[in-house]
Structure 1
């Protein structure tokens, strides 16, 4: 899996982008392992041009970074290349492969060995530290984006306050975007608030991670001034995926009844693309 290419040569030429660089870097999970940190793998895309660039860390969902074909999933390829063309370096983090995990969508929460609020938030912090060692990256302009479980990781990693990099001298991520997370964990922590500006995008018809907890979280004192919530009517989980007709998934461990609809909503997708680009341009520059 780790050796799979991001895209084919034809697709790469059509996109007009450079081949990705496969990188390895440590997670910040050494306090969990009691020894050496987990060595993560990732794919780093750099924009054209010289000088230092803003960067964005991408966090995959419960299905992992790779599709069954062994290639990076279509959604992540699309977002990574689109962000790259807008002038951002993009680091796609693989939290599963280095831990010998294929997916956790069908794994009960109590049985998961890679959790958003524990291991994966430390992976995000490790990615931030890695990018700050790269000379082509503007160390003060690094953002975070995630989907589903990866979006839950965004809330955990970007809401740790002084317990995370935001409490360090260099500071943490400058801005973050979360697509359809489960907001229950953050809502249950009365002290939770984002470390900075946060854009939260959810579907009103999402029956996998229903938006009610996110709506309540967004209205809470201490949160509402930093968090911008967008709720898309008639949109299900995965509404921003490119060319993915809505279908019903079964055997999902965290969806009510084990089933949920997933798929593209073109209106929501178009609006979300516009909002994400405007948000990162405002907070990180380009």
Structure 2
């Protein structure tokens, strides 16, 4: 990991200090017209008229919300950081909008990363293009796990928009499943950052490295950071590292592997995300 610049450190310190100064507004639900359904999403938006740089944030296979909360703490944590930095954050609920629960252990998924979730990304982007508060030339993507995999499909050159709307500004994928993409000659049409732990035994760091290395020379800017001691979900706050038992029935968890916070990787990823979105 490379050290943070002094400017970036001070920026993050100021953001952290601001967190204690004022409570954050709660998100509110917006309904987005999409093919064959209404896509429900949670929106965090800074006060004022904008236009604001906006991030479309894509949940993992465990879904966006819980039984009593529209946004799980892991995504709320990121949304709040981005909001304090001046970004609006739109979180489409790909599963809840289809009346589905968590999909991590579902053998035959009805919502595929490469199809339905890409369609959700397109619908969210089209909706944002109609919002006066959104900076239409500064819409970026960020995704975790299955949401990161959907992001990789959405930014391939083959899916370039044919309309005149500005393309995504950038993309950031946390521990996506790169195994299919790495064998298909993947490349990106927008600058893309991929963050994954070297000890991730749910996704595949080696496949992600091969995918990124294979895209060089025929892709927009791509970068990968593989954190040496980190496992899956390394950026989640306050999650002790533990093994997932294959005998469990929690559909919000992968079938097996290890998940947990890595404090150093989490901190570094926060800085890299801020830096990447500021490009």
Deviation >6 Å, runs of 4+: none
1:211 to 205, 216, 219: 205
SS where residue 143 of structure 1 aligns? strand
- Checking the alignment, whether the CA contact within 8 Å between 2:231 and 2:258 is kept in structure 1 is yes
- Checking the alignment, whether the CA contact within 8 Å between 2:30 and 2:43 is kept in structure 1 is yes
> Shift of the alpha carbon at 1:249?
1.7
1:272 maps to 2:269: yes
> Shift of the alpha carbon at 1:25?
0.4
SS where residue 265 of structure 2 aligns? helix
Rounded Cα–Cα distance in structure 2 between residues aligned with 1:132 and 1:81: 23
What is the TM-score normalised by the length of structure 1? Answer: 0.84
Q: Which residue matches 2:159?
A: 163
Matches within 5 A, 1:1-286: 16-27=23-34, 30=35, 37-108=36-107, 111-159=108-156, 161-165=157-161, 167-190=162-185, 192-220=186-214, 221-222=216-217, 226-251=221-246, 258-282=255-279
Rounded Cα–Cα distance in structure 2 between residues aligned with 1:112 and 1:17: 35
Tell me: CA distance 1:61–1:164, structure 2 relative to 1, closer, same or farther (3 Å): same
Tell me: CA distance 1:15–1:202, structure 2 relative to 1, closer, same or farther (3 Å): farther
SS where residue 202 of structure 1 aligns? strand
> Shift of the alpha carbon at 1:71?
4.3
Tell me: CA distance 1:212–1:15, structure 2 relative to 1, closer, same or farther (3 Å): farther
Rounded Cα–Cα distance in structure 1 between residues aligned with 2:123 and 2:43: 14
SS where residue 173 of structure 1 aligns? coil
Tell me: CA distance 1:218–1:14, structure 2 relative to 1, closer, same or farther (3 Å): same
SS where residue 116 of structure 1 aligns? coil
Rounded Cα–Cα distance in structure 2 between residues aligned with 1:129 and 1:250: 41
Rounded Cα–Cα distance in structure 2 between residues aligned with 1:193 and 1:202: 18
> Shift of the alpha carbon at 1:73?
1.0
Tell me: CA distance 1:97–1:155, structure 2 relative to 1, closer, same or farther (3 Å): same
Unaligned runs of 5+ in 1: 1-11, 31-36
> Shift of the alpha carbon at 1:164?
3.9
Deviations 1:93-118 (A, max 9, x none): 1000111110111112xx10001001
Deviations 1:180-237 (A, max 9, x none): 00012211222x3112100000000000002111000111134566210000011000
Unaligned runs of 5+ in 2: 1-18
> Shift of the alpha carbon at 1:50?
3.4
Deviations 1:3-37 (A, max 9, x none): xxxxxxxxx9975322322100023xx3xxxxxx3
Question: Aligned pairs, how many?
Answer: 256
Give me the CA root mean square deviation.
2.2
SS where residue 200 of structure 1 aligns? strand
> Shift of the alpha carbon at 1:85?
0.6
